[in-house]
A = this chain, B = another copy of it.
Amino acid sequence: MSRIAYVNGRYLPMRGATIHIEDRGYQFADGVYEVCEVRGGRLIDERRHLARLQRSLAELRIRVPMSLAALGVVLREVIAKNRVGYGIVYLQVTRGVARRDHAFPAPEVAPSVVVTARALDRARNEALAGKGIAVVSVPDNRWGRVDIKSIGLLPNVLARQAAIEQGARDAWFVDKDGAVTEGAATNAWIVTPAGTVVTRPADHAILRGITRSVLFDVIKAQGLRLEERPFTLAEAYAAREAFGTAASQIVLPVISIDGRTIGDGKPGPVAMALRREFHRYAEAG
Listed in ascending order, the chain A residues whose CB lies under 8 Å from chain B are 5, 7, 14, 17-30, 33, 60, 90, 92, 99-100, 102-104, 114, 116, 118, 139, 141-145, 150-158, 160-161, 163-164, 184-185
Contacts and interface: CB of A to CB of B under 8 A. Distances in A.
A114 B22 CA distance: 10
Given A29-B154, A102-B160, A143-B141, A19 B21 contact: yes
Given A141-B144, A143-B142, A29 B151 contact: yes
18 contacts: A5-B21, A7-B21, A17-B22, A18-B20, A19-B26, A27-B151, A28-B156, A29-B152, A29-B154, A30-B157, A100-B116, A102-B156, A102-B157, A103-B163, A139-B144, A141-B144, A142-B143, A144-B155
Contacts of A14: 22
Contacts of A161: 102-104
A269 to B, nearest CB: 29
A26 B22 CA distance: 11
Q: How many copies does the complex hold?
A: 2
Nearest to A23: B26
A160 B103 contact: yes
Nearest to A7: B21
